[in-house]
Structures are given as C-alpha cells and as structure tokens.
Amino acid sequence: MSLVADAERDGARRTLACTEATISIRTLQRWIGEGGADSHDRRRTARRSAPSNKLSDEEREALLAVANSSEFASLPPGTDCAGPSRSGRVHRVRIDALPDLESGLSAASPG
C-alpha cells in the first residue's frame, strides 16, 4: 500500500500504480476502507495474539491431569459430568452421551 501511495505522491494515477503493484484498484479501496495498512490482518494465516482467557501452562497441565485421572479416564471426551472429585474440587465434563450418569450429577449440570 505504501508503494501505491508513493507513486501517487510522485504524480502517478492510482489505477496505474495499482497495476504496477499487481493489485486491483478494488483491493486498494478495501484496504483503505478497512482502516488502511494499520488495520488488523483478517487472513486466516495471520499471526494473532493469544486470547485473554487462554489457559496458562499450569492450568492446562492441571486440567489434563484431572481429565486423564482414573476417575475420568473411562469416560469418552464428549461426556459431561459435574461433581466433587476425590480431591474436593468440582469438575465439569459433558455427559450428554451417557444419560445413565445424570442421576449422579450435581445441580450445576445442564443435563
């Protein structure tokens, strides 16, 4: 985009500058309309910052330890069960696939 701006500043017409830069005039118009070169990159391959609610490494390890514990190891990944574990913490996992476990769920369960 800066190449086109430089060419325009030097007196070239925008259409010819876009042709030389191998972009369409419509592409340049979209870029300008979306905030210019400083706007966020919407391509799927663009690098993005991590979301603010991303689990820390410690939280991820703790979650994996619980999910892989013997208490939950026999359940499929799509299961949702909520209730206190032996450690005293309340864990929540989906159980829509196992309706026979619904009777043992706490009131916090959506099932």
What's the confidence (pLDDT) of residue 33?
75
Same domain, 65 and 98: yes
pLDDT tops 80 at residue 14: yes
Segment 41-86, tens digit of pLDDT: 667 777 778 888 887 888 878 777 777 778 777 777 666 665 555 5
Q: Would you state the pLDDT for residue 60?
A: 77
List the beta bridge partners of residue 92: 82
DSSP H/E element including 56: none
Q: What is the pLDDT of residue 30?
A: 84
* Domain coverage including residue 25: 2-37
Residue 46 lies in a domain: no
How many structural domains comprise the chain? Answer: 2
Report yes or no on 47 lying in a domain: no
More confident residue, 33 or 27: 27
- Angle made by CA atoms 52, 57, 58, in degrees to the nearest 5: 110
Provide the 10 A C-beta neighbour count for residue 2.
8
* 26 shares its domain with 63: no
Q: Are residues 67 and 100 in the same domain?
A: yes
Q: Which of 96 and 44 is assigned the larger pLDDT?
A: 44
For 106, the token pair is 């706490």
pTM of the predicted model as reported, rounded to 2 decimal places: 0.35
CA distance 62 to 104: 24
Residues 97 and 65 in one domain: yes
Q: Containing H/E element for 84?
A: strand 80-84
More confident call, 66 vs 13:
13
- State whether residue 94 is helix, strand or coil: strand
Mean pLDDT of the chain: 70
3-state SS class at 71 = helix
Asked if the structure places residue 52 within a domain, the reply is no
